[in-house]
Amino acid sequence: MRLRPKSDYLQKASWVNLYVLTKYWESDIAFYKDEIRFLYGLIDRYFIWMTQDEHIEKVSALSAELNQLDKTFNSLSERMVKHRSRMVLLLENAFVQEEEVFRAEHEVLEDDFKRASVDFRILKRKLFEVTETVMDEEKLQHLLTR
């Protein structure tokens, strides 16, 4: 993901660049949503085998975070579709005042997307760490109770 230059890039970027950037974000969101589906499946697959309350609580909390991120990405996706539609309208009927508002909205959308992307990566790492720990400890617990 690109880092926004400190200059006035968003105020001067071409419509084509902003459109391509928005399409790139939409593609990333589609990928994140696929990963979220995978993570839900991972949680479901191993949750039924958990016996320790501590593990159940950790995974339940992470599942709730994943659910919230899923909603965030759904909202971002809807906002991006509307944003892209507005961009097309502005291209057809360019008004300076509307263009300024659009570019400000673009900046907010970019910030929200970056924040959600970082949150997702952190949550994914936590889920993998917890899953690995739970699998090892639950397997050991299962072997000890035989």
Domain residue spans of the chain = 23-46+58-144
Top-confidence residue, 121 or 97:
121
Amino acid in position 70: D
**What angle is formed at CA 123 by the lines to CA 54 and CA 80, rounded to 5 degrees?**
145
pLDDT of residue 1 exceeding 50: no
CA 140 to CA 146: how far, in whole Å? 10
Whether the Cβ atoms of residue 10 and residue 106 lie closer than 8 Å to each other: yes
pLDDT of residue 74 exceeding 90: yes
Whether the Cβ atoms of residue 49 and residue 137 lie closer than 8 Å to each other: no
Top-confidence residue, 51 or 120:
120
Whether the Cβ atoms of residue 99 and residue 73 lie closer than 8 Å to each other: no
pTM, entire model: 0.81
Task: For 65, list phi and psi in degrees, rounded to 5.
Answer: -65, -40
The residue count for the chain: 146
pLDDT at 125: 94
What are the distances in angstroms from CA 83 to CA 23, 64, 73, 92? 11, 28, 15, 14
State the chain's maximal CA–CA distance in angstroms.
74
pLDDT at 47: 73
- Mean of pLDDT over the chain: 84
CA 95 to CA 123: how far, in whole Å? 41
pLDDT at 37: 96
Mean pLDDT, residues 66-82 taken together: 96
CA 136 to CA 17: how far, in whole Å? 48
pLDDT of residue 41 exceeding 60: yes
